Structure 1
Amino acid sequence: MSFPWAKHYEPKQPLMRWLDEKLPLPRLVYNAVGAGYPVPRNLNYFWNFGVLAGAALAIQIITGVVLAMHYAANAGVAFGSVESIMRDVNAGWFLRYAHANGASMFLLVVYIHIGRGLYYGSYKAPREMVWLLGVVIFLLMMATAFMGYVLPWGQMSFWGAQVITGFFSAIPLVGETIRIWLLGGFAPDNAALNRFFSLHYLLPFVTAGVIILHIWALHIPGSNNPTGVEVKGEQDTVPFHPYYTAKDAVGLGVFLLIFAALIFFSPNMLGHPDNYIEANPLSTPAHIVPEWYFLPFYAILKSFTADFILPAKLWGVLAMFGSILLLFFLPWLDSSPVRSANYRPKYRAFLAILLVDVLVLGYVGGAEANARNVILGQLASAYYFAHFLIILPWVARSERPRPLPNSITEAVLAKQGGTSPVKTAAHA
């Protein structure tokens, strides 16, 4: 989408004019995040989370690069090197806690960002590619986080790697070969630690590259907005700077305050105490659990307890990966012409049920695997897949959305007590 009313960059200072002619970086920044990029005038604070995700990635890369200068990817000394970082390196404790808790904050921000996309229909045309690249980023983040969890070489690090990679052995014929190839041996050891460290260091830069594509894809159709109505003209937009740079600055300030509180007052709240015990292949922890952001997927993995045509372990692996791959098909599973859940009451109700369902899966993923929790996990897993494969297509066909506003400006004025929005869903 082109914006003919967007301002064009014309540098006034001689140095900036010369730089813009030789390397149009000032023009690129101006058009990407400056006054040259018009955005809908009704964006709320949920649109802050894209910027917050970028800030969290920058924190992870900076702290990760410094930590890598002191970390030793060797099974014999990895645990000791982490303790040395904490005790002997200047501000090492801060860097380690910032990196460990930064992963949790990064995933939390991205989960809210995904939730915003689901609620406001940001995955619908013409923004399908933005959504698909976002799912790729999510997969890269999960892979990076898993490999990073192995590096401290504590009990949860070792046994988490043992259990998760062990599920690949469920793949018929080639599963055990893949598992040995991933680990570089029959169990997590030096080879696995070196591989995971190398990939953990590399993948954030790959993620940054995909994020650039994600932003590029976003700038073609422009940002979605809470009404889901497309921009009709200049009256529907404001320049990104200074309006949303100021709004993003407020969100970033709140994010950093919460992040600082976590680091300074409760740095181990989201970790597992067993990971402060050095990895011991001869001592299995009583309860092996991944980090909190993996718990819903871990619950889906554990929900298959009986063989049916295929082994239960293989069903679990397929379901775990399938629960994420489903997101790739979301733009086509939801065929409703209306984007925003503000105008889709039935969809909004089922989306609330999905949120509760994911929270239940998170609880089951971290709870003891007794009969009650297994049944609860199976029911929650069944609903998760039913939501996307059955409920969502049915709602899209059967729902009667509320009338949409004629324009973003009309919706803003109606909210402020002006004209009331009247438009049928067919005009979405």
Structure 2
Amino acid sequence: MSFPWANEYKPSHPLMQWLDEKLPLPRFVYNAVGAGYPVPRNLNYMWNFGILAGVCLMIQIVTGVVLAMHYAANAGVAFDSVEHIMRDVNWGWMLRYAHANGASAFFVVVYIHIFRGFFYSSYKAPREMIWLLGVTIFLLMMATAFMGYVLPWGQMSFWGAKVITGLFGAIPLVGEPLQQWLLGGFAPDNAALNRFFSLHFLLPFVILGVVILHIWALHIPGSSNPTGVEVKTESDTVPFHPYYTAKDGFGLGVFLLGYCAVLFFAPNMLGHPDNYIAANPLSTPAHIVPEWYFWPFYAILRAFTADFFIIPAKLMGVLAMFSAILCWFFLPWLDTSPVRSGHYRPLFRKFFYVLLVDVLVLGYCGGAPAAEPYVMISQIAATYYFLHFLVILPIVSSIEKPAPLPFSITEAVLGKDEGAVLTSNPAAA
């Protein structure tokens, strides 16, 4: 984002002057996260979760690289190598728990970040590319997390891999060859474990690359804000540092307290006990379930129990599960309301809260057994999920009468006093 009132980088130390001349890295950092980056002055704590997502990604990369030094991607010894990390490697138990719970923390932060984007319509022009890259990051996260769940090679790891890769077999003509190509055989075994380990190690760096593009795209139009009103004058902004570095630092401290509380006092709270049993292809678990962050989409997958004309139920479930995320790519064009913030869209706000409850219901049903009444509830919730994005949202954006917007960000923060109006609206002077 380029503003005429943005501070320019002027290094005072001779070493920094020389470095900035030869390699303008200090200037880049200053303009990206320093006083040279003006940010709307009214950002609330919901805007902390982008930074928290970046912290979670770095935790996953650092702990993952160290764990990879001790892990053996071989079906015969993979489970034992994880136990070796837990019992024999110095601080191995902490690294393994930090990585496992870090994945859950990452998804918690990203889900909040996404739903903040839903509420404040962060996908609208001129920020469509930021949103599209964000959805791409989420898809890469899901692929990475699935492959990582397979690596401990416990019962849930093995049977989760078998069920999820079996979904590709539902695709007509190319499904079976594609499934065999993914697994390197006819069932999860040594070849599949090696492939998943390689991809699980590689994809976080791909995610990091897309995150850099995501941040780059963000700096072109600048951050959105709770009012949805664009920046007009210098009084609408404050430098990112020290105002938001301090605010993000406080949010990071609160996040790390919660993360460390789970890590040290309840590290297995979000895991499945069956995954502490070595993988056995001859013993099917009573209830196969993925990690909790996949549950809403798993519920949509299981909601299809009958064939739709010539389309098998399994294929319909697969298509619906992927479509549940792919429809997010079209949000910038499905929501045509000129107002961004849900605070000024009363009808949209009601349906947003219904969607939030609907996703929570899908998550609960996804972790429940594939039996009634959970299947029927999943079907109702899945139907509403798609209706919200494909039908309700376009209609609401067309018929809704939004509340009056503030003239500027400054007016929204300081109120309609004379000083605020004169500062934010030169025409009123």
On whether the aligned pair clears a TM of 0.5, the verdict is yes
Which residue does the alignment assign to 1:349?
350
2:427 alignment counterpart: none
- 2:300 paired with 1:306: no
Aligned to 2:396: 395
Aligned partner of 1:69 in structure 2 is 69
> Letter of the aligned partner of 1:125 in structure 2?
A
Change (3 A) 1:410 1:268: same
Deviation at 1:371, TM superposition (A): 2.5
Distance 1:59 1:212 in 2: 17
- Residues 315-340 of structure 1: per-residue CA shift (max 9 Å, x gap): 00000000000000011000000000
Secondary structure (helix, strand or coil) at the match of 2:39 reads strand
1:377 maps to which residue?
A: 378
Residue 365 (structure 1) aligned with residue 366 (structure 2): yes
How far apart, in 2, do the equivalents of 1:64 and 1:131 lie? 27
- Deviation at residue 153 of structure 1 after TM alignment: 0.2
Residue 320 of structure 2 is aligned to residue 319 of structure 1: yes
SS of residue matched to 1:39? strand
| Paired AA for residue 321 in structure 1 | F
Q: Distance in 1 between matches of 2:249 and 2:418?
A: 29
What is the rounded CA distance, in whole Å, between the counterparts of 1:191 and 1:417 in structure 2?
A: 71
- 1:416, CA displacement in angstroms? 9.6
- Cα shift readout 1:154-188 (whole Å, capped 9, x = no counterpart): 00000000000001100001100000000000000
Alignment of 1:78-227 (within 5 A): 78-227=78-227
**In the TM superposition, what is the alpha-carbon distance from 1:414 to its structure 2 partner?**
2.0
Counterpart Cα distance in 1 of 2:295 and 2:418: 45
Give the distance between the partners of 2:321 and 2:369, measured in 1 at CA: 19
2:38 is matched with 38
Letter in 1 for 2:166: G
**Superposition deviation, residue 418 in structure 1:** 8.6
Aligned-pair CA distance for 1:79? 0.1
| Contact preservation (8 Å) 2:410, 2:420 | no
Matched, 1:13 2:13: yes
Q: TM-score, normalised by structure 2?
A: 0.97
Amino acid paired to 1:272: H
Equivalent residue letter for 2:411: E
Question: Residue 281 of structure 1: SS of its match in structure 2?
Answer: coil
What is the CA–CA distance in structure 2 between the aligned matches of 1:43 and 1:170, rounded to whole Å? 46
Shift, 1:10, TM fit: 1.1
**Root-mean-square deviation over aligned CA pairs:** 1.2
Q: Which amino acid in 1 is paired with 2:143?
A: A
SS at match of 2:402: coil
| Counterpart Cα distance in 1 of 2:145 and 2:420 | 49
How far has the Cα of 1:2 moved from its partner? 2.5
Structure 1 residue runs of 4+, over 3 Å off?
415-420
Unaligned runs of 5+ in 1: 421-428
The AA in structure 2 aligned to 1:89 is V
Q: Distance in 1 between matches of 2:418 and 2:131?
A: 34
Change (3 A) 1:418 1:346: farther
1:177 maps to amino acid:
P
Alignment of 1:227-266 (within 5 A): 227-266=227-266
Residue 264 of structure 1 aligns to a residue in which SS? helix
Identity percentage of aligned residues: 78
Q: Partner of 2:238: helix, strand, or coil?
A: strand
Deviations 1:208-234 (Å, cap 9, x if unpaired)? 000000000000000000000000010
Instruction: Report the counterpart of residue 407 of structure 1 in structure 2.
Output: 408
Quickly say closer, same or farther: Cα 1:159–1:414, change in 2 above 3 A. Answer: same
Distance apart, 1:413 and its partner CA: 1.0
CA distance in 2, matches of 1:253, 1:75: 39
Shift of residue 419, structure 1, vs aligned partner: 6.8
Distance 1:254 1:89 in 2: 30
Counterparts of 2:209 and 2:353, CA distance in 1: 33
Secondary structure class of the residue paired with 2:373: helix
Which residue identity does 1:225 align to in structure 2? N
Aligned residues: 420
Letter in 2 for 1:223: S
Seen in structure 2, the aligned counterparts of structure 1 residues 305 and 271 have a Cα distance that, compared at 3 Å, is: same
